[in-house]
Amino acid sequence: MNRLKRKFLDSLSGFYNEKEIRSLFFQSVQKVTGYSKSALLANPDFPFSGEQEKQLNIILAQLLTMEPVQYILGECEFYGLPFYVNPSVLIPRSETEELVEWILSDHSNRTGNLLDIGTGSGCIAVSVARLLKSFSVSAIDVSASALAVAKKNAERNGCQIQFMQTDILNPENSFEEIAFDVIVSNPPYIREQEKQQMSDNVLKYEPHLALFVPDNDPLVFYRSISVFGKKRLKENGKLYLEINEGLGEETVNLLSLLGYRDVVLRKDIFGKDRMIRATR
């Protein structure tokens, strides 16, 4: 094992720090062998087969192209749950876990229904459905391939979720018969001008459809979601949004102008304006 770990460290040293490389190595080995990091550390002379070593070398070659390990391995963890991912969906982020935590803490002793707009991998919808069993969960996305991933993740985690393909920018016939207690969304919010600040592994591999908005209208999705929420949320229903850290006040002002009240802007663990909760 040490020989292969050294190969990962030497090959990837110009791309990642040592801690990240060790993590990538153990994730890769677990995918190939089924053995956890702790099991491997307890058996440093683990005998890799020729086929296993070949698979690890293929993974290493992919990592050298800066392809995200989550896409290479086809899975990741979000809020303690397993999720399939592929280049049709964004890789779930830790700040989105904080948004889920906000919803769960606000509604832990309540019943109701929730709509996840732009569900992607389904990480928000599935986490809520799995951990807030008193809620009925629905989810929409414009991408059929993203919905296919989300449906697999719902099945993988034993969740009943109603999925629908629709464009929130033109949502005329979406869930007309339902009034929601909660609407949540992590929509595209990165301005085109911010591309230069992003790493290659995001720009080259993650779906731009789920990332970027025009520089001249960066709140286009928040406007549509908020207008939709005014029609589909129950009185006193809650709207939860993940936002661009540089557009916190602008998003708060948009919601206030549309008639939402008790608009709360919250920072993530890194001190960035990242989440909003508003009441209809």
CA 82 to the chain's CA centroid: 12
Q: What is the pTM of this model?
A: 0.93
Give residues with Cβ within 8 angstroms of 273, minimum separation 6.
243, 245, 246, 248, 265, 266, 267
Give residues with Cβ within 8 angstroms of 145, minimum separation 6.
88
Block mean pLDDT (10 aa), the chain, length 280: 88 92 94 89 86 95 94 95 96 95 94 96 98 95 97 97 94 76 96 87 90 92 95 96 96 97 96 97
- Three-state secondary structure string covering 145-171: HHHHHHHHHHHHCCCCEEEEECCCCCC
Structural domain boundaries, residue 198: 78-279
Q: Which of 13, 33, 64 is the endpoint of a domain? A: 64
User: Within this chain, do residues 37 and 106 fall inside the same structural domain, yes or no?
Assistant: no
User: Within this chain, do residues 209 and 272 fall inside the same structural domain, yes or no?
Assistant: yes
> In this predicted structure, what is the pLDDT of residue 173?
66
What is the tally of structural domains in the chain? 2
Q: How far is it, in rounded angstroms, from Cα 16 to Cα 59? A: 15
> In this predicted structure, what is the pLDDT of residue 15?
87
User: Within this chain, do residues 18 and 110 fall inside the same structural domain, yes or no?
Assistant: no
> In this predicted structure, what is the pLDDT of residue 174?
65
> Coil, strand or helix: which one is 206?
coil
> In this predicted structure, what is the pLDDT of residue 197?
86
Residue 69 inside a domain? The answer is: no
CATH of the domain at 202: 3.40.50.150
Residue 15 inside a domain? The answer is: yes
> In this predicted structure, what is the pLDDT of residue 3?
87
Q: 120: buried, middle or exposed (CB in 10 Å: 19+, 13-18, 0-12)?
A: buried
